[in-house]
């Protein structure tokens, strides 16, 4: 009985994730993760704090390092940090990074 229920539960969860669009990351949770980025980054403007303001990040063409703005390149910056930004590679979990990426896309 249980053996049959588990795949059904997994399928249900997958469907729920797909339907709500939260498969990659949850922007609401990402907002909480972003609290530790907010010390250095504005989320509601492009004005520089310690680092550049991140409003409209995914709507602009290029990052400060000249690379195109996409998930992989933004994630690379979050992982590696540099020039005053801490490296989050081992500070944030994979899920937290997915969430914060989803949140950044809403800015
Ligand atoms: C101690 C301050 C500090 C913290 C905390 C910080 N950053 Fe940064 N961040 C910076 C600085 C400074 C830069 C610019 C680095 C450069 O010029 O190469 C930067 C650059 C970036 C960029 C590139 C922006 C662009 O337009 O090129 C992104 C994206 C970013 N940070 C996201 C984050 C996220 C997400 C977090 C939290 C997980 C975070 N940062 C936490 C200081 C910080």
| Ligand 1 touching residue 97 (CB < 6 A) | no
Residue 76 has pLDDT above 60, yes or no: yes
- Stretch 59-68: mean pLDDT, rounded? 96
Measured CA to CA, the distance from residue 107 to residue 103 in angstroms comes to 7
Interval between CA 5 and ligand 1 midpoint (Å): 44
Token pair listed for 45: 């403007």
Residue-level pLDDT at 9: 64
Measured CA to CA, the distance from residue 81 to residue 78 in angstroms comes to 6
Residue 94 has pLDDT above 70, yes or no: yes
| Ligand 1 touching residue 101 (CB < 6 A) | no
- The residues, ordered by sequence, that sit 6+ positions from 59 with a Cβ below 8 Å of its Cβ are none
Q: Which atom of ligand 1 is nearest to the CA of 100?
A: 35
| Ligand 1 touching residue 36 (CB < 6 A) | yes
Residue 80 has pLDDT above 80, yes or no: yes
């Amino acid at each position: 009985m249980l053996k049959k229920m588990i795949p059904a539960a997994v399928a249900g969860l997958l469907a729920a994730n797909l339907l709500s669009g939260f498969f990659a990351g949850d922007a609401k949770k990402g907002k909480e993760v972003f609290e530790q980025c907010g010390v250095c980054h504005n989320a509601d403007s492009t004005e520089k704090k310690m680092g550049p303001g991140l409003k409209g990040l995914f709507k602009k063409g290029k990052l400060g390092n000249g690379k195109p703005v996409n998930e992989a390149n933004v994630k690379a910056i979050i992982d590696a940090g540099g020039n005053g930004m801490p490296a989050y590679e081992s500070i944030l979990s994979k899920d937290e990074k997915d969430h914060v990426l989803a949140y950044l896309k809403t800015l």
